[in-house]
Amino acid sequence: MEETSLLRLISLISLLSRSSAGLTVSPSRSQFFRGESVTLICEDEIRSDGWTVRRNTTRGTRTECGDKWGEADGSTCNITLFPYDTGLYWCESMSGSSSSSSSIQLSVSGGSVILQSPVLPVMEGDDVTLSCRAKNPTHNLPAAFFKNGVFIGNESSGHMTLLHVSSSDDGLYKCNVKGHGESPSSRISVKGQRKTFNFSSAHFSTSCLPPGPAGLPPAGLLSVLHLHFPHGVFIWTQGQR
Ligand SMILES: *[C@@H]1O[C@H](CO)[C@@H](O)[C@H](O)[C@H]1NC(C)=O
């Protein structure tokens, strides 16, 4: 009985992970100055290869990394960015099946101000820091911040922190540094809370793991399983009794 539920759980996990890849962006932000480099990595818990980065820009749709833009190395794509690289990027399985990750927006400024904001969706309840950066000088200057075109505040440090974000913080953000100019706009999307399932160690103790001394459940039982759905990421946690 307990063995059956564990098997079901494992099939559920493989089902979830097989159909999705996560896209990692390094450095992790959505805006770049002309000439900066970015690395996009397609990560999959099961296979590390078999994914390719594709994009939609004004120069073409669904074009593949390594073909006219970017340098592909397995499931990794390196790009030296220019304003025409602004667009949507995602991972797609090479087999051409319907598997793909959610897409991200990268914006390359032709000007001298960028907004550093999270490129991946943020979780409800997280604190999110927006940084307004000028190209020169590189230290942060006082900046004005805007959400959906509406002024939301001046920050002398150039940083604005949104505390405990909720869906109402979802929107298009940009900033402005006096005498330097305005950044492109980037969307901050807020996802629902992490879904965490807790399984009591009792579910796993007797039939799935070898018994400990004197028939007691062994120490270090697998007791907690977190499933992070947005990018198909899952983490096993070893629980101590
Ligand atoms: C890329 O562009 C194609 C053609 O317009 C469209 O069908 C597709 O949905 C776009 N992909 C993304 C991730 O927006």
57 lines ligand 1 (CB under 6 A): no
**Closest C-alpha to 195, from 12, 1, 3, 27:** 12
| 62 C-alpha to ligand 1 centroid (Å) | 7
The reported pTM is: 0.73
Q: Are 55 and 88 in contact (CB under 8 A)?
A: yes
Structure tokens at 33: 């100055």
Beta-sheet pairing, 186-188 with 113-116: unpaired
Q: Are 20 and 231 in contact (CB under 8 A)?
A: yes
Q: Report the chain's terminal Cα–Cα distance, integer Å.
A: 23
78 lines ligand 1 (CB under 6 A): no
pLDDT tens digit at each of 241 positions of the chain: 456 665 565 555 444 444 456 899 999 999 999 999 999 999 876 665 688 999 999 999 999 999 999 999 989 999 999 999 999 999 998 876 667 888 999 999 999 999 999 999 999 999 999 999 999 887 779 999 999 999 999 999 999 999 999 999 999 999 999 999 999 999 999 998 755 554 444 344 333 444 445 544 454 444 444 343 334 434 444 443 3
58 lines ligand 1 (CB under 6 A): no
103 lines ligand 1 (CB under 6 A): yes
